[in-house]
Structures are given as C-alpha cells and as structure tokens.
C-alpha cells in the first residue's frame, strides 16, 4: 500500500498577529476567569487571598518565568525577525541572555519544571473552584467554571494542533510537541 504524503504544514518564523492575539487572549482570559472563579467561589477573605495568589502565580509563571527560563534556549530567540506564538521571544531577547538550544528539552525536566508550572496554572482554577460549589453554590461561578473548562479544552484540542505547535519551528525538539506526536 502506498501512503500518500499529507499537505505540507507551513512553519512560521513570524506567526500571524491574529494567532499571537488568539493565543495570549486565550491565556489571559483563562487566568483572569480562573482567579475570578476562586475569588467569587469562596466569597470571603480566604477566596480573595487564594484568588490573588493564583493570579500572581499564573501571570509570573507565563510572562516572567517563560521568557527568562525557557525562551533563551528556543530557536525563536535566535531567528532573525521572528515572532513566536506567544510573542515572548521578543521580550526574552530584551531581558535574558542567549541560551543553549541543547537545553530546550529541560523545560520538561523535574517536578517544578516550567512545563509542569504551565500546566498547573491552567488546571489549578478548575480543581480549586469545584469544592466551592459544596460550600455555597453560585450560578455565576458555575458559568465561570464552565468557561475555564472550555478554554482548557479549546487550548488542548484546537489551539495547539491548529494554531500554535503545528506551525512551530521548535516542534522537532520540543517535549510538548513530542508528547502530542507533532514533532
Ligand atoms: S511546539 Fe508548541 S509548546 Fe513547543 S515551543 Fe512550539 S508552540 Fe511552544
């Protein structure tokens, strides 16, 4: 049997601005709604503290730790006139020194590696909000909860495979793409 090759996937040196906005819009909406869900779900100073701690953790993990720890080892840091899906390579060039592409896979190594923190920032609000329904049920919090779950599913089942990783020049060496069998 002859296997016909599928249509070639275009790799982007510069992602379209619409893709960068979609990726960051999805990320920011996820964090903000997640934090809001925790704050409203527990509706007390406990919820306020938990929600604020979550928001700080999520934004620092994504927009501080990534450009400092991960991006310097990524091919987009070195590619001339490049714009990666998150746009963080542009920030990283300003704030961090050039890394080593051989270390790029380290993003997935260790319990508190950047990849695990990234997943934690996405999953924490989903897990954290569930107990609040048994303490004081709120339809508004349920809507926020469903929106966060929707954003999570959208990211994993559409964004990565159709907008982000599929067009990424780092996918051959990226542990995330390898896990999703896209490398
Ligand atoms: S393959 Fe996906 S996760 Fe890996 S660097 Fe590219 S966009 Fe990021």
Give 59-72 pLDDT, tens digit per residue.
999 999 999 999 99
- Quote the CA–CA distance of 93 and 130 in Å, as a whole number: 39
Q: Is 165 close to ligand 1, i.e. is its CB under 6 Å away? A: yes
Q: Is the CB of 148 under 6 A from ligand 1?
A: no
CA 1 to ligand 1 centroid distance, Å: 33
- pLDDT score for 5: 52
pLDDT digits (tens, 9 = 90+) for 40-49: 999 899 999 9
Q: Is the CB of 20 under 6 A from ligand 1?
A: no
| Alpha helices (runs of H) in 67-174, residue ranges in sequence order | 75-78, 88-95, 114-135, 139-154
pLDDT band of 6, cuts 50, 70, 90: low
Question: Is the CB of 36 within 6 Å of ligand 1?
Answer: no
Q: Whose C-alpha lies nearest to ligand 1, atom 3? A: 176
Ligand 1 test: best mutation among 177, 179, 182, most atoms within 8 Å of CB? 177
Say if CB 13 and CB 169 are below 8 A apart.
Answer: yes
Tokens of 95: 């704030």
Contacts of 179 (CB under 8 A, 6+ apart): none
Nearest CA owner, ligand 1 atom 8:
165
Work out the average pLDDT over 37-59.
97
User: What is the number of the ligand 1 atom nearest to the C-alpha of 74?
Assistant: 5
């Amino acid at each position: 049997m002859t296997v016909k090759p599928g249509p070639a996937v275009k790799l982007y040196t510069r992602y379209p601005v619409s893709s960068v906005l979609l990726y960051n819009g999805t990320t920011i909406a996820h964090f903000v709604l997640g934090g809001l869900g925790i704050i409203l779900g527990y509706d007390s100073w406990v919820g306020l503290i938990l929600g604020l701690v979550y928001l700080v953790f999520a934004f620092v993990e994504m927009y501080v730790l990534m450009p400092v720890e991960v991006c310097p080892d990524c091919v987009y840091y070195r590619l001339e006139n490049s714009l990666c899906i998150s746009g963080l390579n542009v920030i990283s060039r300003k704030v961090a020194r050039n890394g080593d592409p051989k270390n790029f896979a380290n993003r997935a190594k260790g319990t508190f590696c950047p990849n695990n923190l990234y997943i934690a920032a996405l999953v924490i609000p989903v897990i954290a909000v569930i107990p609040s329904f048994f303490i004081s049920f709120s339809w508004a919090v349920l809507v926020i909860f469903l929106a966060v779950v929707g954003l999570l599913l959208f990211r994993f089942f559409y964004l990565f495979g159709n907008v982000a990783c599929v067009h990424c020049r780092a996918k051959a060496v990226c542990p995330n793409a390898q896990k999703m069998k896209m490398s």
